[in-house]
Structure 1
Amino acid sequence: MKNLFNEDKPIYKQVREQIEDQIINKQLHPNDQAPSTNQLVSFYKINHATVSKGINQLIEEEILYKKRGIGMFVTEGSREKLLDKRRELFIEDYIVTLVQEANKLEITNEEILKFIKKVKGSEK
């Protein structure tokens, strides 16, 4: 199952992002039990320490919480917290670069919006 992972990013981050995606996509809701570390190790056939690193980050950021002896659960408000974080990353990773390149090419804000609307319209 290791081929499910991208070589450009550490596996623990990808495991973490997959759980985040399940929360964002409403596959996991507040107070739902998240997959256990052992389940993820077994499913992906990867090292326990790798999975634990990603899971522990989610616990530290209060996206997940542990119930001793029972498992890990999704925290109330975690989806909103993740959406805010991902929006900030979207701005940093995509919008800043887009605006910088548009400035170089002398593309106006109106043209950028037109291009975005065109691309978004083609998704439907």
Structure 2
Amino acid sequence: MRRPFNQDKPIYIQVREKIEDQIINNQLKEGEQAPSTNQLVNFYKINHATVTKGVNQLVDEGILYKKRGIGMFVAGGAREKLVQKRKQSFIEDYVVKLVQEAEKLGFTEKDIILFIKDVKGSDTE
């Protein structure tokens, strides 16, 4: 059986990212009710405090909001906020490192673009 979490980062961050992915992929839409912490605890078989920490971060950032006695809901503009955040992370985590390494190896901008086109083209075959 495959474990739903890896050892590379804290589980509460992975729980948070799973909810973020559902919002980005439109599985959870703005205004819809998100899974409750109890549902997530039972589904993933993890500690309640772990789930609560990940969910509360999303609440603190305005991605989810609480309706007392009803549950958590996806906030308006949540998807756009997450997409923008992920784009920025992508640039910082991948593009900056790619450019730095390419410069060390003497690749030109044109070389990098050709490499990207080659890789992207191989995905469509």
TM-score of the superposed pair, with normalisation by structure 1: 0.97
**Number of the residue aligned with 2:25:** 25
**Number of the residue aligned with 1:4:** 4
Letter in 2 for 1:113: I
> Share of identical aligned residues, percent?
69
Which structure 1 residue ranges, 4+ long, deviate > 4 Å from structure 2?
A: none
Mean CA deviation greater in 38-47 or 109-118? 109-118
TM-score of the superposed pair, with normalisation by structure 2: 0.96
Unmatched runs of 5 consecutive residues or more in structure 1: none
Does structure 2 retain, via aligned residues, the 8 Å contact 1:16–1:55? yes
Using the TM superposition, give the Cα deviation of residue 28 of structure 1 relative to its aligned residue in structure 2, in angstroms. 0.7
Cα RMSD (Å): 1.2
**Number of the residue aligned with 1:79:** 79
Q: Separation in 2 of the partners of 1:63 and 1:23?
A: 9
Number of residue pairs the alignment of both structures matches: 124
Using the TM superposition, give the Cα deviation of residue 2 of structure 1 relative to its aligned residue in structure 2, in angstroms. 8.3
Q: Secondary structure at the match of 1:3?
A: coil
Q: Separation in 2 of the partners of 1:122 and 1:26?
A: 27
**Number of the residue aligned with 1:69:** 69
Unmatched runs of 5 consecutive residues or more in structure 2: none
**Number of the residue aligned with 1:122:** 122
